[in-house]
Amino acid sequence: PGTHTADLVVFGGTGDLSMRKLIPALYHSDRDGRLSPEFRVIALSRGGLTDADFRGKVDAEVRDQVPADDQAGWQRFLGRLHHVSVDVGRHTGSDAGGDAGGTDTAGWGALTRLLAGHERRDRVFYLASPPRTFGPFCRELHEAGLVTPRSRVVLEKPLGHDLPSAQRINDEVGAIFDEHQIFRIDHYLGKETVQNLLVLRFANAFLEPIWNSLWIDHVQITAAETVGTPGRRGYYDHAGALRDMVQNHLLQLLTLTAMEPPARSDREAVRDEKVKVLQALRPITGTEVDRFTVRGQYVGADGMPGYLDEPASTPPTEASRRVETFTAIRAEVKNWRWAGVPFYLRTGKRMPYRRSEIVVQFKDVPHSIYPGGAPNRLVLRLQPEEGIQLHIMAKEPGAGEVTLKPVPLSLSFGETFTTRVPEAYERLLTDVLAGNPTLFMRRDEVEAAWRWIDPILHAWESQAELPEPYPAGTTGPAGAHELLGRSGRTWHEED
């Protein structure tokens, strides 16, 4: 038990995600003894690499993450890696692909031979490729006879670019795989603090009675990044912060914060409750976007380039000028527990700090007998360091007048637990191998999220105005501060 035997086939196997996240995660799983000796990783790409070439590439790019005392383990891990060249160009839209030629039979043939005789193992097809390839790849796998009853498919985000495209992808993939075989990744769900949020809420008694609109003033969910988008314009021009971060990561955090206690910790019970939150989100339509949403784009400052000046293979277009690299939204969950409690969402590139957190701000005390109090805040920090802080009011030591000071009751996971915290991808890959989809997005969840996002996208598209500029290295455009400021609230900025 706990050891997995599977063939993991990675589409886009030499790509950025595979080299930066998947391969290191698999190595750590191997090191922790979770992979059986027969476990194989089969990377697919057009690269024309041999197994030896691929192992050499992985060795060159990932070896610095391997502890000095595990060189033997690393060599054993490299031995699990295989590479098959499949020309996937006609699906990825690349002009080097075989548009005229149709299926690359030689490539699929090579994959078929490698998998032959292993039909009774688990087989995982990991699609780390653009969403438009998901349907076609699943069909190709099916036509090549490679989809066994023990197969699973993992889909990377973004799942489409709006509701209709997401539904189409879900239909296409769903024609080949059953829903229980489909694992839609949102890597935020693999982060330790995100899972801890559920434990904090549902394994402790003290929070539940105050986790509602009677005691909570508002919630802030921030994912701030210092990085810009160098080399990513091709993707980002058509994504933007709303599709890239809010539709998935931020809405997932919102659902976990707002969901009702599930009756069990199993896959359907948890996801049923999450979907209900998405369905309860008040739609933001038409002219309401001006009141409830803000979009910004960073411009050059302090030696940092603006979005339009980032290195890219093509010059900026109208789409580049219109795309938001920052957004802030005032969302509302229309149900008994949360009516009247704003959920402010905010994410941006080139902000002054890298920080992802959920901040729950409680109401003021009903009647204050001391001057200078401030409301309690519960801060769940996902990164850079993981931890939970409860900001409480304390008396500053001293004789004379009582002076209040907010002080944090602080839990740092790094200091409290000495065990290694696994990377999100490691956790999620382990769940895929175990066949546990609790931390993956179900079809109805993804579609409910798009259903809320689409009207905002449409309203933005119909506006003549461009996103508000903000200087690189700052906390976003003025509008983001006004969004809270007009009800006397402020973003949580302190460390």
**Which residue number, 30 or 225, has a Cβ lying nearer to ligand BG6?**
225
**Closer residue to ligand BG6 in complex, CB, 356/376:** 356
Based on the shown chain and the rule CB under 6 A, indicate whether residue 244 belongs to the binding site for ligand BG6: yes
Element spanning 455, H or E: helix 443-462
Nearer to ligand BG6, 15 or 73 (CB): 15
Residue 27, C-beta contacts closer than 8 angstroms, at least 6 positions apart: 62, 65, 66, 74, 77
Which of 334, 340, 328, 335 minimizes the C-alpha distance to 218?
A: 340
Name the catalytic one among 218, 249, 367, 481. Answer: 249
Smallest separation (angstroms) from ligand BG6 to the CB of 106:
33
Q: What is the nearest approach in angstroms of ligand BG6 to the Cβ of residue 89?
A: 23
Q: Could you tell me how far CA 300 lies from the centroid of its own chain?
A: 27
**Residue 225 annotated as part of some ligand binding site:** yes
**Distance, CA of 464 to chain centre:** 30
Tell me, what DSSP letter sits at residue 93?
T
Q: Which CB sits closer to ligand BG6, 146 or 329?
A: 329
The continuous run of DSSP H or E covering 225 comes out as: none
On whether 57 is known to bind a ligand per the annotation, the reply is: no
**Residue number closest to ligand BG6, CB atom:** 244
Counting every residue written for the chain, the total comes to 495
The answer to whether residue 225 forms part of the interface with ligand BG6 (CB under 6 A) is yes
Residue 196 CA, chain-centre distance (Å), reads: 16
Is position 87 annotated in a ligand binding site? Answer: yes
Q: Which two tokens stand for residue 90?
A: 């006609």
Owner of token pair 């994912």: 223
> Is the CB of 217 or the CB of 386 nearer to ligand BG6?
386
Vertex 22 angle, CA 51 and 182, to 5°: 105
Tell me how far apart the terminal alpha carbons of the chain are, to the nearest angstrom: 42
486 is in an annotated binding site: no
What's the closest the beta carbon of residue 457 comes to ligand BG6, in angstroms? Answer: 17
- The nearest distance, CB 206 to ligand BG6, in angstroms, is 29
Instruction: Tell the smallest beta-carbon distance from residue 225 to ligand BG6 (Å).
Output: 6
Decide: is 310 part of the binding site for ligand BG6 (CB under 6 A).
no
* 402 marked among binding-site residues: no
Cβ-proximal residues to 362 (8 Å cutoff; 6+ apart), any chain: 210, 215, 216, 217, 375, 376, 377, 378
The span from the CA of 244 to the CA of 319, in Å, is 15
Rg (CA), the chain: 24
Please state the φ and ψ torsions of residue 487, each to the nearest 5 degrees: -110, 25
Counting Cα atoms < 13 Å in the Cβ hemisphere of 149 gives 1
297: nearest Cα among 266, 263, 323, 336:
323
Q: How far is the CB of 223 from ligand BG6 (least distance, A)?
A: 6
Name which of residues 311 to 330 contact ligand BG6 (CB under 6 A).
none
Whose Cβ is closer to ligand BG6: residue 107's or residue 306's? 306
Among positions 85, 151, 252, 356, the unique one binding ligand BG6 when judged by CB under 6 A:
356
91 part of the active site: no
Q: Which residue number, 245 or 277, has a Cβ lying nearer to ligand BG6?
A: 245
Taking each helix axis from N to C end, the angle separating 443-462 and 251-258, rounded to the nearest 10 degrees, works out to 120
- Could you tell me how far CA 263 lies from the centroid of its own chain? 26
CB of 242 to ligand BG6, least distance (A): 12
- Is 357 within any annotated ligand binding site? no
Question: Does the annotation flag 187 for ligand binding?
Answer: yes
Distances (CA, A) of 242 to 226, 245, 305, 453: 17, 6, 22, 8
Looking at residues 156 to 175 of the shown chain, list those that interact with ligand BG6 (rule: CB under 6 A). 157
Asked whether residue 334 is marked as a ligand-binding residue, the answer is no
- Determine the size of the site formed for ligand BG6 (CB under 6 A): 5
Q: Does 252 bind ligand BG6 (CB under 6 A)?
A: no
**Does the annotation flag 244 for ligand binding?**
yes
Q: Kindly identify the residues of this chain, within the stretch 360-379, that bind ligand BG6 according to CB under 6 A.
A: none
Cα–Cα distance, 149 to 171 (Å, whole number): 19
Binding-site string for ligand BG6 from residue 103 to residue 142, where x marks contact by CB under 6 A and - marks none: ----------------------------------------
Q: Which residues are annotated as a binding site for substrate?
A: 187, 191, 225, 244, 349
Catalytic positions, please? 249
Residues at the contact surface with ligand BG6, assessed by CB under 6 A: 157, 223, 225, 244, 356
Q: Which residues are annotated as a binding site?
A: 46, 87-88, 157, 187, 191, 225, 244, 349
